Amino acid sequence: MASTSALQKAIDLVTKATEEDKNKNYAEALRLYESAVEYFLHAMKYEVPNERSKDSIRGKCKQYLDRAEKLKDFIDKGKNKKKPVKAGEGNSGKKSSKDSDSDDDSDPAKKKMEAKMEGAIVAEKPNVSWDDVAGLEGAKAALKEAVILPIKFPHMFTGKRQAWRGILLFGPPGTGKTYLAKAVATEANNSTFFSVSSADLVSKWLGESEQHVKTLFEMARDQKPSIIFIDEVDSLCSSRSEQESESARRIKTEFLVQMQGVGNQNDGVLVLGATNIPWVLDAAIRRRFEKRIYIPLPDEHARTFMFKLNLGDTPHSLTEDDFRHLGSKTEGYSGADISIIVRDALMQPVRKVQTATHFKYSRGPSREDPNVFKDDLLTPCSPGDHGAMEMTWEQVPGDKLLEPVVSMRDMMRSLADSKPSVNDQDLDKLRKFTEDFGQEG
């Protein structure tokens, strides 16, 4: 138990040290780096039996000690002629792409690219848990296996047992692929989450796009464990052809090299891709996504849960039977389609208020305190109702309106006006791709 806490303490200290380093609190960062190394050495002595894991920790310790030495020199000299290099730039005595004799200002183009990639890091967790994702148990299990377990139990993934380095989520639009990525970003503690799209990587300048890709992977390796999520990956990595431009070919080549090329060690880096049209992906890119998981349309149970999830705590009069009925009536609808149905149903009470010609007094919770009920609230009603008063919503005081709750009739009305967004032709293509290259989620 003491070893585990030492390893966790070391990870926490490194996280704090990195934050202080970025904030230019170099003295505090130096202290935290040195303390982290001490805890790593303690954990390595009493916890980690595997030599490969020990080598990995030794490499990390050397990187942090090198950084601490640079900070110490800078603090001792006071105002130095050179700024201290950025965290992660000196992990050995060798020169690297980030560690040169000149300071950071000598390569403004690289600084600009790194600054752009910094914007792709998801700093604030999306607050989406696994429980918020309806169904998709296979996909969630695969993502936990690839992301959560290697971070929590690194000693399990040594030797021949290696964590997955590439996972492709594919399926019809609106089935929750991006939502799953948000859950990964929330649940993967102590990891860096990069969320990128073609807009972040593609540039009109010759050679800049592939440099963006290279910088992205370099930053992911420096800040590992890390996850690179590429939404709509087909826009970047479609099949190569003679008709495509030279720049498009070069960016695909750089992806291939960075994901699995000679000299690139991606231990601790997971590339997570999402696409609606996986059959257009280049074969070499497809191979580098070791796990290809089909995210299908939700089944009846998942659809029932989605109606409840989208309604949330909005006042409604639906029963369990009503939810089950809605789940059975929405065969072929995606999660996004169900979300739109519920959003439209939530607007039905607003429309009732807007079109009402009569209102009556009713009992309901007050705006100031929901636990206190009032008898002088006004709610829309039919002209023949007892106590009906002819008036419009414009004559109702703002604090006196009691809006109608969402009913099953509202839901069915919205359902009648909506159609599923996925057609059978696309589903057939996705099923064929799953049979040939993927697995069910």
| Per-residue tens of pLDDT for the chain, all 441 residues | 344 467 778 788 888 888 888 887 888 888 888 888 888 787 777 666 667 677 778 778 878 888 888 888 777 766 444 444 444 444 444 444 444 444 444 456 666 666 656 666 665 667 788 888 877 888 888 888 877 888 778 788 877 888 788 888 898 988 888 888 888 888 877 778 888 877 777 766 666 777 888 888 888 888 878 888 888 888 777 777 776 677 777 888 888 888 775 556 667 788 888 888 888 888 888 888 888 888 888 889 989 998 998 898 888 899 999 999 999 999 999 888 999 999 999 998 988 998 899 999 888 887 777 777 888 888 899 888 888 889 988 888 878 888 888 999 999 999 998 888 888 888 888 888 888 887 766
Q: Where are the alpha helices (DSSP H) in 78-161?
A: 108-118, 137-143, 149-152
The residue type of 320 is: E
Whether residue 96 lies inside any domain: the answer is no
Tell me how crowded residue 246 is: count the other CB atoms within 10 A of its CB. Answer: 8
The whole-number pLDDT of residue 319 equals: 92
Instruction: Say how far apart CA 168 and CA 150 lie, in whole Å.
Output: 18
CATH number at residue 135: 3.40.50.300
DSSP-based three-state secondary structure for 172: coil
CA dihedral 161, 149, 305, 178 (to 10 degrees): -80
Residues 241, 389: Cα–Cα separation, whole Å: 71
Reduced to 3 states, what is the DSSP secondary structure of residue 281? strand
Beta pairing, strands 269-275 & 226-231: parallel
Residue from 156, 407, 48, 432 nearest 277 by CA: 432
367 belongs to a structural domain: yes
Let me know whether 236 and 180 are in one domain.
yes
Other Cβ atoms within 10 Å of 154 Cβ, number: 19
Residues 225 and 313 in one domain: no
Residue 382 burial (C-beta neighbours within 10 Å; 0-12, 13-18, 19+): exposed
pLDDT of residue 155: 82
pLDDT of 89 reads 46
In a domain, 252, yes or no: yes
Neighbours of 241 (CB within 10 A): 9
- Do 138 and 268 fall into the same domain? yes
Q: State CA 134 to chain mean position distance.
A: 16
- Position of tokens 């409840």? 308
| DSSP assignment string, 123-141 | -S-----GGGS-S-HHHHH
360 three-class SS: strand
| 272 backbone dihedrals φ, ψ, rounded to 5° | -115, 115
Cα–Cα distance, 214 to 395 (Å, whole number): 63
φ/ψ of 36, rounded to 5, equals -60, -40
26 & 166 share domain: no
Residues 322 and 278 in one domain: no
Taking a C-beta distance cutoff of 8 angstroms, is the pair 177, 295 a contact? yes
- The DSSP bridge partners found for residue 193 are 227
Element (H, E) at 376: strand 373-381
Nearest to 270 by CA among 143, 164, 119, 162: 164
Does any domain span residue 118? no
Note the pLDDT of residue 83.
Answer: 46
**pLDDT at 329 (0 to 100):** 92
What distance in Å separates the CA atoms of residue 149 and residue 155, rounded to the nearest whole number? 10
**Domain CATH code at residue 362:** 1.10.8.60
For the chain, the helix, strand and coil percentages under 3-state DSSP, each to the nearest 5:
50, 10, 35
250: Cα separation from own chain's centroid: 27
* Whether 285 and 328 share a structural domain: no
Q: What is the H or E stretch that residue 231 is in?
A: strand 226-231
Contact 171, 339 (CB under 8 A): no
- Indicate whether 99 belongs to any domain: no
The two structure tokens encoding residue 3: 């070893």
146 with 8, same domain: the answer is no
* Spatial CB neighbours of 220, under 8 Å, sequence gap ≥ 6: 192, 194, 226, 228, 269
Task: DSSP letter for 394, please.
Answer: G
Domain that holds residue 192: 130-297+432-440
Residue 106 lies in a domain: no
Q: Are residues 287 and 309 in the same domain?
A: no
Same domain, 289 and 383: no
For residues 99 and 405, what is the distance between their CA atoms, to the nearest angstrom?
A: 63
Beta strands in 80-223 (DSSP E): 166-170, 192-196
Judge if 152 and 293 occupy the same domain.
yes
d(CA 117, CA 98): 15
Tell me the two tokens of residue 415.
């359902």
